[in-house]
Amino acid sequence: MVERSADLAPNDPGAPGEAADQAFAARGAVLRAAVALVAAVALYVPILYYMVLHWSHVEDYSHGFLIVPLAVFFAWERRDELRQASIKPSWLGLFPLVLGSLTLAIGRLGTELMNMRVSFVLTLIGLVLLLLGRRVFRILAFPLLFLFLMIPLPESLLNVVAFPLQLIAADLAVNGLFWLGIPARSRYRATSTCRSTTTSPRPSTSRSHKTTTDPQAFV
């Protein structure tokens, strides 16, 4: 026992020192990531400000006020996994950062708000992956991707997506009422039928022309 303890004694002081170095390096990486995230938020303050105004003025996107707190809560739920995760910065984070920068540039050139807002989330993903590594990114992937739900869609895209869904919902509702024995019809379908009837060509144009040119028509 004495010899075994003597053999292990030289190795014991090294283990706590190595663990302390790893903990110090992890704290430094977390601190750098926090500073970078705060700087990214500060850089995107004008874009985020107008997005919040969009939430407050358009009721369809008022859920945006809940997205960020929910994303923070989802990340907080994974705090035990984050403590045990090894921090190994990954150069793969450059791809989301470059993509976010290009999206931001395109959005500014074309005054497209959606592109600029998407670039913010891409920048956050890139910073987490670059400074904290793939292991931490896997843990925080869902909270980060969840942030895309806070971005309002353009009206043109919203109409293209929402209008067919409204038609499907209306047809389902009419069919359900029909099976319940309640008479109902879709107003849009009736309107479309009326429009097609009123805009259909008249086949009797030639006949009417022939009739008006007939001398007996004036008798």
Q: Which residue has the tokens 């029909």?
A: 178
Q: What is the pTM of this model?
A: 0.65
Say if CB 90 and CB 135 are below 8 A apart: no
Band (47; pLDDT cuts 50, 70, 90) = very high
Alpha carbon 32 to chain centroid, angstroms: 26
For residue 63, pLDDT beyond 70: yes
Q: Nearest Cα to 64, choosing from 141, 148, 156?
A: 148
User: Domain-by-domain residue ranges, the chain?
Assistant: 11-152, 154-198
Pick the more confident residue, 196 or 106: 106
Q: Are 85 and 141 in contact (CB under 8 A)?
A: no
- Mean pLDDT for 98-110 is 91
Higher confidence at residue 73 or residue 195?
73
Return the sign of the alpha-carbon dihedral for residues 206, 207, 209, 214. positive
The pLDDT-based confidence of 21 (bands split at 50, 70, 90) is: low
Q: Over the chain, what is the mean pLDDT? A: 77
**Residues sharing a CB contact under 8 Å with residue 101, sequence separation 6 or more, in sequence order:** 119, 123
